[in-house]
Amino acid sequence: MNRSALLFLLTLGLGACSKAPETAATEATTKKFSLSDQTLKELAFDTVRLEPVRSEQSFSGQVTTNGDKTAKIFPLVGGVVEKLNVELGDHVTKGQVLAVVRSGEIADVQNQNSTAGTDVAIASKNLSVAEDQFKAGLAAERDVVLAREELRKAQSNLGKTGKQLGIYGVSQDGHYVIKAPISGFITDKNVTQGMQYTNANTDADGFFTIADLDQVWVLANVFEADIANVKLGYQADITTLSYPDKHFLGVVDKVFNVLDPDSKALKVRIRLPNPGYLLKPEMYAQVRILNTEKTKELAVPANSVIFDKDQHFVLVYKSRTEVDTRPVTVTKTVGDVSYVSGANLKAGDVIVTKNQLLVYDELND
């Protein structure tokens, strides 16, 4: 091989070597970031919001029945319980018969009513005779007046005993019938079939307690240091041991003005709906009372914030090929909301809130 041919081959080799890195760099540049269809299905999104900053106080509490929708039922007369139609925990409707009682007191009132009815009939007949005799000149007007007074007294006695029987709810066969005054659940029961009782020995709690559990109360224990942070109208978030992942929302509707002498705690009442009757009386509850401050900050779901290399980030989603990593400063986290600040973040930005670490790793590898 002559010298000219050797120089030509060396020139070709050097040219090939100089082009290889350049081609690789070009291919790397043209390869763009893009989320696959499968990845998009696994993500969830939310919007950055400008919201008033909330503060939060946590307390222990207990679920109770709504006292405004609770009725204790006491028997009006003594007797023997012949029939018991309900059990503890049963749901009843207004007017439903709860128990039937055979009562000596009822029998006595019925006898008085029957006697009063007979007296009315006799007095009415006597008045008719007196009026006829007065017209015939055989009786004085005074006799007619006295007969009318006797009839009035008899009618008064009949009306009195009739009202008594009406109040007692006496059935046609003379039994005392106890009915539900409201609809709700039997939350307390102190009566059994065949039980004998008098008004003197009736339990102080009555025969039944019925509570409408569509709405319940939670009584929270607020200690002295936190009293100033709880006011009427504040929202409350309730969780229980039975449903730790379920949140029940209510409102503080009463702050009691007396401290418990033993615990030195102030009772605060939260009123809340009870969907599905999940909240049961006497359940223990964890109460978070929320207070909204006047200042506003950007708010994002707390689970959307990524912490890496001593810095917090959120992922702003624009399209499947454009997802930005934005550094933020978390100023406060209340419950499931984090308040953040960042020069490149604004209200309305769409952020990734689920499986964002997958995207974050792909962006920063």
pLDDT computed for residue 92 by the predictor? 96
Alpha carbons within 13 A on the beta-carbon side of 250: 27
Which residue do the tokens 């769409």 mark? Answer: 350
Q: How far apart are CA 126 and CA 147, in angstroms?
A: 6
The CATH number, out of the four listed (3.30.70.20, 3.40.50.300, 1.20.1250.20, 2.40.50.100), of the domain defined by the range 76-103+175-211 = 2.40.50.100
pLDDT computed for residue 9 by the predictor? 45
pLDDT computed for residue 143 by the predictor? 84
Q: How far apart are CA 29 and CA 344, in angstroms?
A: 26
Instruction: Name the percent of the chain lying above pLDDT 90.
Output: 42
Mean pLDDT for the chain overall: 84
pLDDT digits (tens, 9 = 90+) for 185-239: 999 999 999 998 887 767 677 899 999 999 999 999 999 888 888 889 888 999 9
pLDDT digits (tens, 9 = 90+) for 8-67: 444 444 444 444 444 444 444 445 778 888 888 889 999 999 988 887 888 999 999 999
Q: How far apart are CA 242 and CA 245, in angstroms?
A: 9
Tell me: pLDDT of 315 over 60: yes
For residue 136, give Cα distances in angstroms to 86, 130, 146, 317: 65, 10, 18, 111
Name the fold adopted by 57-67+212-294.
Elongation Factor Tu (Ef-tu); domain 3 (2.40.30)
Is residue 69 packed enough to be buried (19+ CB in 10 Å), middle (13-18) or exposed (0-12)?
A: middle
Kindly report, as residue ranges, where domains of CATH 1.10.287 are found in the chain. 104-169
Q: How far apart are CA 236 and CA 60, in angstroms?
A: 12
Say which range, 170-179, 259-268, 277-286, 331-340, has the weakest mean pLDDT: 170-179
pLDDT computed for residue 14 by the predictor? 43
CATH of domain 37-52+295-364: 2.40.420.20
| pLDDT average, residue stretch 311-324 | 91
Tell me: pLDDT of 274 over 70: yes
Residue 117: CB partners within 8 Å, gap ≥ 6?
158
Q: How far apart are CA 202 and CA 77, in angstroms?
A: 10
Q: How far apart are CA 214 and CA 65, in angstroms?
A: 10
Most confident of 189-198, 270-279, 283-292: 270-279
Q: How far apart are CA 115 and CA 109, in angstroms?
A: 10
Name the CA dihedral angle for 244, 246, 250, 252, rounded to a multiple of 10 degrees.
Answer: 20
pLDDT computed for residue 199 by the predictor? 72
Kindly report, as residue ranges, where domains of CATH 2.40.420.20 are found in the chain. 37-52+295-364
Kindly report, as residue ranges, where domains of CATH 2.40.50.100 are found in the chain. 76-103+175-211
With beta carbons less than 8 A apart as the criterion, state whether 329 and 310 touch: no
- Compute the chain's Rg from CA coordinates: 42
Write out the two tokens for 204.
């102080």
For residue 153, give Cα distances in angstroms to 13, 100, 113, 148, 166: 136, 33, 13, 9, 20
pLDDT computed for residue 22 by the predictor? 47
pLDDT computed for residue 34 by the predictor? 85
Name the fold adopted by 104-169.
Helix Hairpins (1.10.287)
pLDDT computed for residue 172 by the predictor? 62
Render the burial of 243-266: b for 16+ CB within 10 Å, e for the rest. eeeeebebebeebeeeeeeeeebb
pLDDT digits (tens, 9 = 90+) for 136-162: 888 888 888 888 898 899 889 888 888
Proportion of the chain in helix, strand, coil states, percent, rounded to 5: 35, 40, 30
How many CB atoms neighbour CB 166 within 10 A?
9
pLDDT computed for residue 20 by the predictor? 46
